[in-house]
């Protein structure tokens, strides 16, 4: 409601108080509101009154000193009061919008510090195939996709799993050649860590049976040394880059995807800040983000992680990355992170491990994974880019990859950085304490079903029993005082934060508390994005990035948390989503 008559204010507030301003459903709330009296100030003039006030809420502040409140007052884009419904009366003026929360839970907006919004939200691919299907069905689906896209220079698809290809009786390349023999065809596997190609695509990419593996990649071959149609990790990335350059409408698709689908969907989920974890600056991603920012169409804070191309000359790449840095404090868009891969993934046997895998189908030297960036090379980039202001988002899955990334930071960082390692699937317990010691942020994803402990035994054939335990050890890291963030890696996992929270508090034996999970999605992630002084908690002086939920998470079951809905999202004091 909007107050239009000053004489009505006492009556309105009194009426609101009757519905709960002297009570709070949260056990800790009454203790916190008593200590909020110090925040009240003398009567103010009309121009000093709030533009928006929320009353009668269960407001979880993520502020250890005052974790619960009933009311929040906002002036323009800043929070000017956090306390009780009774106390907030002095901040209500003639033009103040007063919103009765009616007991609903309010909290800071969610941060997702690792997602792929352009790749996941646009129509860059022309078709999608099932994760697993028969050879004949794949041939029919791909042939139909070629028929539906007669003018496409490259046919680009998505959807299968690597295990499906490895279990095929026919060579994967022969399957695609039967479907499409005359045009280049590339299909991205679900994790993006391998590509399935036909012979025409291999030919145009200059790949043949005698080709050497590129940095951070493997060219798949059969027992006779013939190409099998699978390119692992950076071998596939380079060809996908080639395919993407053939498209004429990529940037427009990316732009429309962000505007029409991705940002509205993220706001609906209560997400107010994201980090694009792989901004392909050679593919026009940066220009798309800048266009949206310049048109004032951003409805969230976005920090971009510029992709570090493993195959690029270091001097040229470092110079280019430095030239792209942007950190205007008045802009919702920052270009202040760099995304590195130090290794691949477990199911490909490309994640960097201390000990060899139990299977060896890629025949890598040592059979313990690969490096996109070695420790020495990562140290070089840290020394060169830290002074510019960049923080690093480092993909590290295997215990060797994680160990080497920590070593690089220990050896080369100034100690003032906010670098983070992401994924953290197999962590050597000896490295748990190093995260806190080195100030390295531990970023993990638990929203995907595959991270649930029930799926750990699936890794036994690759890793053995001992190394397949305690994958993504978020509890162990928190207990070792690491700063934990939780993110989605969308579209590998759903970006819905309530699924991630629900899983984080129920994945015994590596479960954390609800309070810890909320910190990981809010204040800790704000810290990772260097904006914890602005957002991430509800405190006087911070910006009003807020969400209202239909459930109090602290009074909900694990299943109810996963099904929680957002009823309102505010960014910078403005409503960007309302149910």
Q: Can you point out the beta strands (E) in 190-311? A: 194-197, 217-221, 227-233, 271-279, 301-307
Consecutive H or E run containing 451: none
Q: Please check whether residue 528 is in contact with residue 420, taking contact to mean a CB–CB distance below 8 angstroms.
A: yes
Averaged confidence pLDDT in the chain: 92
Q: Hunting for tokens 């079903």 — which residue is that?
A: 449
Same domain as 10, residue 99: yes
Distance from C-alpha of 461 to C-alpha of 427, rounded to nearest angstrom: 18
State mean pLDDT over 11-21. Answer: 33
Q: What is the pLDDT of residues 200-225, one digit of tens each?
A: 999 999 999 999 999 999 999 999 99
Same domain as 205, residue 304: no
Q: Is residue 280 part of a domain?
A: yes
What distances in angstroms separate CA 470 from CA 29, 367, 388, 487, one per listed residue? Answer: 35, 22, 37, 19
For the chain, the domain total comes to 3
On the question of pLDDT at 429 being above 90, the answer is yes
> 3-state secondary structure string, 90-152?
HHCCCCCEEEECCCCEEEECEEEEEECHHHHHCCCCCEECCCCCCHHHHHHHHHHHHHHCCCC
Domain of 80, CATH number, reads: 2.30.40.10
State mean pLDDT over 306-313. Answer: 98
Q: Is residue 32 part of a domain?
A: yes
Which of 225, 244, 263 delimits the end of a domain?
244
On the question of pLDDT at 37 being above 70, the answer is no
Other beta carbons within 10 angstroms of residue 523's beta carbon come to 23
pLDDT interval class at 46 (50, 70, 90): low
CA angle (20 as vertex; 109, 66 as ends), nearest 5: 45
On the question of pLDDT at 21 being above 50, the answer is no
Same domain as 255, residue 240: no
State mean pLDDT over 29-47. Answer: 41
Q: Is residue 418 part of a domain?
A: yes
DSSP, collapsed to helix, strand or coil, labels residue 79 as: strand
Q: Is residue 382 part of a domain?
A: yes
State mean pLDDT over 182-192. Answer: 95
User: So what's the pLDDT on residue 31?
Assistant: 32
On the question of pLDDT at 108 being above 50, the answer is yes
On the question of pLDDT at 28 being above 80, the answer is no
pTM: 0.90
User: So what's the pLDDT on residue 30?
Assistant: 32
User: Residue 2 has what DSSP assignment?
Assistant: B
Q: Please check whether residue 53 is in contact with residue 99, taking contact to mean a CB–CB distance below 8 angstroms.
A: yes
Domain of 179, CATH number, reads: 3.10.310.70
User: So what's the pLDDT on residue 121?
Assistant: 79
Same domain as 483, residue 348: yes
DSSP, collapsed to helix, strand or coil, labels residue 237 as: helix
pLDDT interval class at 249 (50, 70, 90): confident
Q: Is residue 62 part of a domain?
A: yes
pLDDT interval class at 45 (50, 70, 90): low
Same domain as 183, residue 310: no
Same domain as 425, residue 371: yes
Burial classification of residue 373, based on how many CB atoms lie within 10 Å of its CB (0-12 exposed, 13-18 middle, 19 or more buried):
buried
Other beta carbons within 10 angstroms of residue 50's beta carbon come to 25
Q: Please check whether residue 72 is in contact with residue 538, taking contact to mean a CB–CB distance below 8 angstroms.
A: yes
Give the chain's count of helices (H) and strands (E). Answer: 21, 24
Q: Please check whether residue 52 is in contact with residue 74, taking contact to mean a CB–CB distance below 8 angstroms.
A: yes
CA angle (205 as vertex; 199, 206 as ends), nearest 5: 90
Domain of 452, CATH number, reads: 3.20.20.140
Q: Please check whether residue 315 is in contact with residue 297, taking contact to mean a CB–CB distance below 8 angstroms.
A: no
Q: Is residue 446 part of a domain?
A: yes
Same domain as 138, residue 94: no
Consecutive H or E run containing 415: none
Which of 183, 214, 244 delimits the end of a domain?
244
- Max Cα separation, the chain? 88
Ramachandran angles phi, psi of 188, nearest 5°: -80, 130
On the question of pLDDT at 247 being above 70, the answer is yes
Distance from C-alpha of 374 to C-alpha of 378, rounded to nearest angstrom: 6
Same domain as 134, residue 85: no
Q: Can you point out the beta strands (E) in 448-510? A: 484-486
Q: Helix axis angle, 135-148 relative to 172-179, nearest 10°?
A: 40
Q: Helix axis angle, 375-385 relative to 399-412, nearest 10°?
A: 40
Same domain as 517, residue 404: yes
% the chain with pLDDT above 70: 92
Same domain as 399, residue 368: yes
Q: What is the pLDDT of residues 117-150, one digit of tens each?
A: 998 877 678 899 999 999 999 999 999 999 999 9
Q: Can you point out the beta strands (E) in 464-565? A: 484-486, 546-549
Which of 198, 214, 244 delimits the end of a domain?
244
Q: Please check whether residue 20 is in contact with residue 552, taking contact to mean a CB–CB distance below 8 angstroms.
A: no
Q: What is the pLDDT of residues 457-510, one digit of tens each?
A: 999 999 999 999 999 999 999 999 999 999 999 989 999 999 999 999 999 999
Same domain as 263, residue 228: no
On the question of pLDDT at 257 being above 50, the answer is yes
Q: Is residue 512 part of a domain?
A: yes
State mean pLDDT over 406-431. Answer: 97
State mean pLDDT over 357-367. Answer: 94
Q: In what order do the strands lie in the sheet with 105-108?
A: 68-69, 58-60, 105-108, 546-549, 566-571, 574-578
Same domain as 336, residue 413: yes
Other beta carbons within 10 angstroms of residue 382's beta carbon come to 22
**Contacts with 272 (C-beta within 8 Å, 6 or more apart), sequence order:** 109, 110, 111, 300, 301, 535, 545, 547, 569, 570, 571, 576
Give the range of the structural domain holding residue 411, as residue numbers without chain letter: 112-116+248-568
Q: Is residue 574 part of a domain?
A: no
């Amino acid at each position: 409601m909007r107050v239009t008559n000053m004489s009505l204010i006492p009556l309105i507030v009194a009426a609101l108080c009757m519905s709960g301003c002297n009570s709070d459903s949260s056990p800790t709330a009454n203790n916190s509101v008593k200590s909020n009296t110090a925040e009240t100030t003398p009567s103010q003039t009309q121009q000093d009154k709030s533009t928006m006030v929320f009353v009668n809420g269960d407001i979880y502040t993520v502020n250890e000193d005052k974790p619960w409140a009933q009311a929040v007052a906002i002036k323009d884009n800043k929070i000017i009061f956090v306390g009780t419904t009774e106390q907030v009366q002095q901040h209500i003026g003639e033009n103040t919008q007063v919103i009765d929360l009616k007991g609903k839970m309010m909290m800071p907006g969610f941060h997702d510090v690792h997602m792929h919004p352009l790749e996941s939200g646009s129509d860059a691919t022309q078709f999608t195939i099932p994760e697993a299907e028969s050879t004949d069905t794949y041939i029919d689906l791909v042939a139909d996709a070629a028929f539906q896209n007669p003018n496409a220079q490259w046919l680009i698809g998505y959807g299968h799993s690597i295990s499906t290809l490895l279990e095929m009786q026919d060579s994967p390349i022969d399957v695609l050649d039967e479907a499409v023999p005359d045009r280049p065809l590339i299909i991205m596997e679900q994790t993006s860590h391998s590509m399935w190609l036909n012979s025409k695509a291999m030919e145009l990419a200059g790949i043949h049976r005698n080709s050497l593996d590129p940095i951070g990649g493997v060219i798949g071959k059969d027992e006779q040394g013939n190409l099998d149609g699978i390119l692992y990790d950076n071998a596939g990335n380079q060809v996908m880059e080639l395919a993407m350059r053939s498209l004429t409408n990529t940037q427009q698709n990316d732009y429309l995807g962000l505007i029409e689908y991705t940002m509205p969907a993220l706001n609906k989920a209560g997400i107010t800040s994201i980090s694009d974890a792989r901004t392909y600056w050679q593919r026009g991603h940066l220009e798309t983000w800048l266009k949206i920012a310049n048109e004032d169409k951003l409805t969230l804070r976005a920090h971009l992680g510029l992709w570090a191309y493993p195959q690029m000359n270091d001097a040229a790449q470092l110079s280019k990355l430095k030239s792209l840095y942007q950190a205007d404090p008045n802009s919702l868009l920052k270009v202040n992170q760099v995304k590195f891969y130090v290794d691949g993934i477990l199911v490909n046997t490309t994640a960097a491990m201390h000990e060899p895998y139990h299977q060896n189908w890629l025949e890598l030297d040592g059979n313990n994974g690969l490096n996109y960036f070695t420790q020495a090379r990562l140290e070089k980039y840290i020394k060169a880019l830290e002074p510019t202001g960049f923080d690093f988002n480092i993909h590290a899955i295997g215990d060797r990859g994680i160990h080497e990334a920590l070593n690089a930071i220990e050896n080369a960082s100034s100690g003032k950085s906010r670098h983070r390692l992401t994924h953290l699937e197999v962590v050597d317990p000896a490295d748990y304490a190093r995260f806190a010691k080195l100030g390295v942020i531990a970023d993990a994803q638990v929203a995907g079903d595959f991270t649930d402990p029930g799926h750990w035994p699936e890794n036994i054939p690759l890793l053995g029993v001992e190394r397949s335990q305690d994958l993504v050890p978020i509890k162990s890291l928190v207990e070792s005082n690491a700063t934990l963030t939780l993110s989605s890696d969308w579209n590998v996992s759903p970006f819905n934060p309530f699924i991630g929270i629900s899983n984080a508090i129920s994945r015994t034996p590596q479960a954390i508390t609800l309070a810890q999970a909320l910190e990981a999605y809010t204040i800790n992630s704000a810290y990772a994005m260097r904006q914890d002084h602005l957002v991430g908690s509800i405190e006087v002086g911070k910006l009003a990035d807020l969400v209202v939920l239909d459930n109090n998470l602290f009074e909900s079951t694990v299943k109810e948390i996963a099904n929680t809905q957002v009823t309102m999202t505010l960014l910078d004091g403005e409503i960007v989503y309302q149910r």
